[in-house]
Structure 1
Amino acid sequence: MSEAPTFEPLGDDAVLIRFGAGIDAALSARVHAAAARIAAMDIPGILDLVPGYASLGVICDGAFRADDRQAFAYERIVETLRGTIEENASAMVSKPRIVDIPVRYDGPDLDDVARRAGLTATEAAARHAAGDYTVAMLGFAPGFPYLLGLDPALHTPRRATPRTRVPPGSVAIGGAQTAVYPQTLPGGWNLIGRTPLALFDLSRTPPNLVAPGDRVRFRAIDHEEFETLCTKNSA
């Protein structure tokens, strides 16, 4: 049986709901179910919901200020939130959005990942592309998605020496997770490929290509299609 969520203040105007600890697909599903339930209720005073691996941040505004001293009415928001979180909340979550991400599998660390798994580079790329991933959360940098669902054979420790500049669109593996770098960033994940899609673009609404709770499917493409999509996306 799942443990009951706990609540704690997060700064002066937010609440952190903890559902457990660790990185686990079932735990992540509970977080997203709760976020969907709270969002669907459209509670006045809640500005934003920020899912983590095992927790959910609830950002509030003045609607949850105590009238007498204008202090954050922590007990009031917790009482409101507690009533929205039920064990069967997952049954009320709408069907997740599926995002297709094309990838040219030619990253500089693909051979190392394959060697650790006892596979060829082609086999490792095929296994990665065959995965069914869920966006557990966004973090580290704007638009950086932490994806659950990586084939255990491809689990690879982070590099001992991080790179100072990882190109935008780099598809990477770090431990039991995979991700896509949304912009040029430092990073120690293993680079196995690259997508021509922009994961984060301030000219879009919303700027993030994927959101927590989305499903992601990678699709292998060749160099020609990669260049074609790069040209199309930059037009």
Structure 2
Amino acid sequence: MRRALAMRTLPVGERALLVELESGEDAEALHAELLRRRAAGILPPVREIVPAARTVLLDGLDDPERLAALLPGWQVAPPRADAGPAVRIPVRYDGPDLAEVAAVWGVSVRAAVRIHSAAEFRVAFCGFAPGFGYLTGLPEQYAVPRRATPRTAVPAGSLALAGPYTGVYPRSSPGGWQLIGTTDAVLWDPEREPAALLAPGTRVRFVPRGAV
């Protein structure tokens, strides 16, 4: 059901607008609506639309004030994944924190793998590092806390959880997410077009490989 979203709009320079939403789901919904309207040719000219956890940045606007006045009156549909096939990422559920995550969920390790691999995810937004997508799709009861002490180096290809999000580290870096698996998929390749395997709105499925 479409509905108006509670939001706050803030000017950024002379030609950009930052829209703050009440939740990540609202930010996803607004981002999808902006893309739909741009594709239909009914969105004022904008150079970039950049979603984040609870904000959407619109850059390169001719008249930010006009759009800021229009946005609160839009009727926006709930977020849904892009049409088309999902990106399927093969995963070995062999992460060092898998048993701990299963314990938080109150299930066995095998059940935790089934829960995670059965979900269909959507890239809500990208950030942190080139190619890193913040994926939503797990029910609220499966949110997990970050590690109390972050690791100084998380290997590239690590499948990880934090809060409501799932993500794959595209390169080795420090990090405090819970590591539940590994993949050989290349998340970021500057020689590839597009360079990022995952973009906001992309549907994602994780496919188990090997025994748990």
Bucket of the pairwise TM-score, normalised by the shorter protein: 0.7 to 0.9
Aligned partner of 2:24 in structure 1 is 23
The answer on whether the counterparts of 2:159 and 2:180 sit within 8 Å (CA) in structure 1 is yes
The equivalent position to 1:117 in structure 2, one of 105, 115, 120, is 105
Aligned partner of 1:87 in structure 2 is 75
Q: Name the structure where helix makes up a greater proportion of residues.
A: 1
2:188 equivalent to 1:186: no
Structure 2 unaligned residues grouped into runs of 5+? none
Structure 1 unaligned residues grouped into runs of 5+? 65-75, 224-235
Equivalents in 2 of 1:209, 1:164: separation in Å? 25
**1:82-231 correspondence runs (5 A):** 86-88=74-76, 95=83, 98-222=86-210
Deviates more, 1:130-139 or 1:41-50: 41-50
Aligned partner of 1:72 in structure 2 is none
Aligned partner of 1:227 in structure 2 is none
Aligned partner of 1:55 in structure 2 is 55
The answer on whether the counterparts of 1:35 and 1:51 sit within 8 Å (CA) in structure 2 is no
Equivalents in 2 of 1:117, 1:17: separation in Å? 34
The number of equivalent residue pairs is 207
Q: Secondary structure at the match of 2:29?
A: helix
Q: Secondary structure at the match of 1:193?
A: strand
Equivalents in 1 of 2:101, 2:8: separation in Å? 38
Deviates more, 1:82-91 or 1:98-107: 82-91
The structure with the larger Rg is 1
Equivalents in 1 of 2:199, 2:107: separation in Å? 32
Following TM superposition, by how much is the alpha carbon of 1:133 offset from its aligned partner in structure 2, in angstroms? 1.1
Q: Deviations over 1:123-147 (max 9, x none)?
A: 1111100111111100111111111
The answer on whether the counterparts of 1:14 and 1:58 sit within 8 Å (CA) in structure 2 is yes
Q: TM-score, normalised by structure 1?
A: 0.77
Q: Deviations over 1:80-125 (max 9, x none)?
A: 576588315679x962652111111000100111112221211111
Query: Match of 1:56, as an amino acid?
Result: V
Query: Match of 1:104, as an amino acid?
Result: R
Equivalents in 2 of 1:210, 1:118: separation in Å? 31
Q: What's the C-alpha RMSD, in Å, of the aligned pairs?
A: 2.7
Q: TM-score, normalised by structure 2?
A: 0.84
